[in-house]
Amino acid sequence: MKSTHFLSLAAAALASGGLLAPAFGADEATFETKPLRALLITGGCCHDYAKQKLILPEGIGERANVVFDVVHEGGESRDHRVSVYEKDGWAEGYDVIVHNECFGSMTDDALIGKITKAHADGVPAVTIHCSTHSYRNAKTDEWRKLLGVSSYNHGKKHPITMTNIKKDHPVTKGFPESWTTPDGELYNIEKVWDTCTPLIEGQIDNPKKQPCVWVNTYGKARVFGTTVGHHNETMLEDTYLDLITRGLLWSCGKLNDDGTPMKGYGPK
């Protein structure tokens, strides 16, 4: 499969009336601060990655001083080897890698080790939805350690009731105690690794709640992860984009304790 690469500059507009719009107000220092450089890796089966590769850079770019490169490849494959991962030093030059990929049947432990080593050496990560199920059939646990959770399946498609269980964390401070996504898939989490701190739990019609938003430490890297984001309708919501933006800034060490971007890293 050919890969699609493009650069999308952070949009020069304010977040329009989102849940946390005041937290992402215009920041004059942004004009003097070098933007964070992010690499979005996406593709694989079962999702509308053609649109999501636009939704995420544009939505985050409206909220923070971030520019994106995008690698989209693999078609509907479940076992594709993303070409950028084959390169030595594949993550060099990036401040954060955003994983929104779905390659659950790729089982090459050596390649997975190459992916995760870049993060263990200090490159922050944001992992979204099916990235949690990517590489899940591999024998190595390194991807699961990077994520901070182990998951192998999910429930039916249905709106998810989200409960904020860490209201004092910078990523979730000021978010509602509870809200419901337009639609979704609730992933079953079989293990939460010791390095991981769940922030939000999700529930459908089963009494059991599942961690669906968390932060993790993997080697020298901070990692923000969520299993939420199957449908474009959810991903387009201000609440969702506010959450992903905060997670990205937190992973890069650019989020204040009150949940606002550090000086220079808010929107232009």
Within a domain: 260: no
259 inside domain:
no
| Mean pLDDT for the chain overall | 90
Least confident of 9-18, 228-237, 251-260: 9-18
For residue 60, the domain's CATH number is 3.40.50.880
Q: Which residue has the tokens 């920041």?
A: 27
CA angle 179, 223, 249 (to 5 degrees): 70
Residue at 261 is within a domain: no
Q: Enter the pTM of the model.
A: 0.89
Q: Is the pLDDT reported for residue 193 higher than 90?
A: yes
Residue 142 falls inside a structural domain: yes
- Tens digits of residue pLDDT in 77-100: 999 999 999 999 999 999 999 999
pLDDT at 263 over 60: yes
Cβ 4 vs Cβ 70: under 8 Å = yes
Contact 27, 264 (CB under 8 A): yes
pLDDT band at 28 (very low <50, low <70, confident <90, very high): low
Domain that holds residue 30: 4-251
- For the stretch 126-164, pLDDT in tens is 999 999 999 999 999 999 999 999 999 898 889 999 999
DSSP-derived 3-state class of residue 119: helix
Kindly state the tokens that stand for 68: 């994106």
CA distances from 205 to 11, 22, 161, 186, 210 (A): 39, 34, 9, 10, 12
Q: Is residue 267 part of a domain?
A: no
Query: Is residue 263 included in any domain, yes or no?
Result: no
Percent of the chain with pLDDT over 90: 84
| 214 belongs to a structural domain | yes
Measured distance CA(268)–CA(265) in Å, rounded: 9
Q: Is residue 122 part of a domain?
A: yes
How many domains would you assign to the chain? 1
